C-alpha cells in the first residue's frame, strides 16, 4: 500500500499539484450544467452496473466450480464438454456472444406460442435477462479454466489425509478441496472480477441502461463529448479500486488466518 512518506517526495508533490491544477481547470472551463438533469438517471445506471456485476459474478462462479472440477478430475464425457465450452467462450468476443443470445434467441422465442403464453414471457421480452445470461456464461468460461488449475493445484497429501480420516467425499470437497482451491486463486479472481466490470458496458449495446448507456445518452442529447466520458472513466477507476481493495482485504483475511507470521496489520 502507498504510505504517506512515499508521496512526500518533491517530484510527486509537483505532479500532484499539476493533477490538482488539471482537475480545477476541468471543473472551471468544461461544461457541467447537464449533471443535475441527468443525475437520477445516472444513479439508476450505476445501480444497474453494480447489480449486473454482482449477480453475474456469483452465478458465474457457481457455474465455474463444476466446470473446473469436471476438467480437473472428471471422466472424459464430462471433461470434454466442459473444455469445449471454455474454449468457445474464451475464443470468441463477448460482444458476439451477447448479440447471438439477444438477437438470436430474441428472434427465436416469439415463434413458439407456448413461450409467448408462459409466465416468463414478460421477462424474456426485456433485454436484461440476456445480458445476465451472456455475462454469466462468459465469467463461468474464464473462471472454469482458472478453477481447473486451482483444483489440480491442491496438494495431494491434503486430500489423502482427509480420505484416511474417513471423511465423506462431499465433506472433503466442502472443507478441504474447495477452500484451498479458492485460496490459491484469490489474486487471479480479483483480476478477473475487474475484467468482468470492464465487460459490463457492453450490455448498453442491447438497450440495457447501465451507466455507460447514460453517458452515451448525455452525449447524443447535448453534444457534450468529453465531460460525460471523463466522469465515466473516473467511475470505473473508482469501482476497480474498490474491487482491488476488497480482494486485498479478503486475501489478508483468508491467508492471514492460515499463517501465524503476524505480518497482518
Nearest-angstrom CA–CA distance, 202 and 28: 32
- The residue assigned the cell 442491447 is 206
Write the binding mask 102 to 141 for other proteins: x where contact by CB under 8 A, - elsewhere. Answer: -xx--xx---------------------------------
Q: CB of 78 within 8 A of CB of 156?
A: no
Q: Is 68 in the site for other proteins (CB under 8 A)?
A: no
What's the closest the beta carbon of residue 66 comes to other proteins, in angstroms?
19
In degrees and rounded to multiples of 5, residue 75 shows phi and psi of -70, 165
CB neighbours of 194 closer than 8 A, spacing ≥ 6? 240, 243, 244
Write the binding mask 205 to 234 for other proteins: x where contact by CB under 8 A, - elsewhere. Answer: x------x------------xx--xx-xx-
- The residue assigned the cell 512518506 is 5
Q: Is 100 in the site for other proteins (CB under 8 A)?
A: yes
The one segment of 5-13, 37-45, 110-118, 173-181 that binds other proteins by CB under 8 A: 5-13
Q: Which of 145, 173, 189, 227 binds other proteins (CB under 8 A)?
A: 145
Span 12-51, contacts to other proteins by CB under 8 A: 12, 15
In degrees and rounded to multiples of 5, residue 168 shows phi and psi of -65, 155
Burial class, 200, CB count within 10 angstroms (exposed 0-12 / middle 13-18 / buried 19+): buried
Q: Which residues bind other proteins (CB under 8 A)?
A: 9, 11-12, 15, 87-88, 90-97, 99-100, 103-104, 107-108, 145, 149, 152, 194, 197-202, 205, 212, 225-226, 229-230, 232-233, 236-237, 240-241
Amino acid at each position: 500500500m502507498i504510505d504517506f512518506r512515499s508521496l512526500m517526495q518533491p517530484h510527486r508533490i509537483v505532479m500532484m499539484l499539476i493533477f490538482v491544477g488539471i482537475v480545477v481547470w476541468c471543473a472551471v472551463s468544461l461544461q457541467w450544467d447537464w449533471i443535475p438533469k441527468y443525475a437520477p438517471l445516472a444513479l439508476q445506471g450505476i445501480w444497474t452496473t453494480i447489480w449486473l456485476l454482482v449477480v453475474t459474478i456469483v452465478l458465474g462462479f457457481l457455474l465455474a466450480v463444476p466446470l473446473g472440477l469436471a476438467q480437473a478430475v472428471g471422466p472424459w464425457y464430462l471433461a470434454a464438454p466442459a473444455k469445449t465450452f471454455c474454449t468457445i467462450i474464451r475464443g470468441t468476443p463477448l460482444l458476439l456472444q451477447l448479440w447471438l443470445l439477444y438477437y438470436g434467441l430474441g428472434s427465436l422465442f416469439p415463434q413458439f406460442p407456448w413461450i409467448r403464453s408462459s409466465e416468463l414471457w414478460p421477462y424474456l421480452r426485456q433485454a436484461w435477462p440476456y445480458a445476465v445470461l451472456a455475462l454469466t456464461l462468459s465469467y463461468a468460461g474464464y473462471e472454469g479454466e482458472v478453477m481447473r488449475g486451482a483444483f489440480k493445484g491442491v496438494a495431494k497429501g491434503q486430500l489423502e489425509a482427509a480420505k484416511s480420516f474417513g471423511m465423506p467425499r462431499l465433506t472433503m470437497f466442502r472443507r478441504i478441496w474447495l477452500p484451498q482451491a479458492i485460496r490459491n486463486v484469490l489474486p487471479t479472481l480479483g483480476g478477473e472480477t475487474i475484467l468482468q466490470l470492464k465487460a459490463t458496458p457492453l450490455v448498453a449495446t442491447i438497450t440495457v441502461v447501465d451507466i455507460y448507456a447514460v453517458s452515451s445518452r448525455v452525449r447524443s442529447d447535448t453534444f457534450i463529448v468529453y465531460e460525460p466520458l471523463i466522469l465515466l472513466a473516473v467511475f470505473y477507476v473508482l469501482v476497480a479500486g474498490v474491487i482491488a481493495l476488497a480482494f486485498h482485504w479478503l486475501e489478508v483475511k483468508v491467508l492471514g488466518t492460515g499463517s501465524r507470521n503476524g505480518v497482518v496489520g
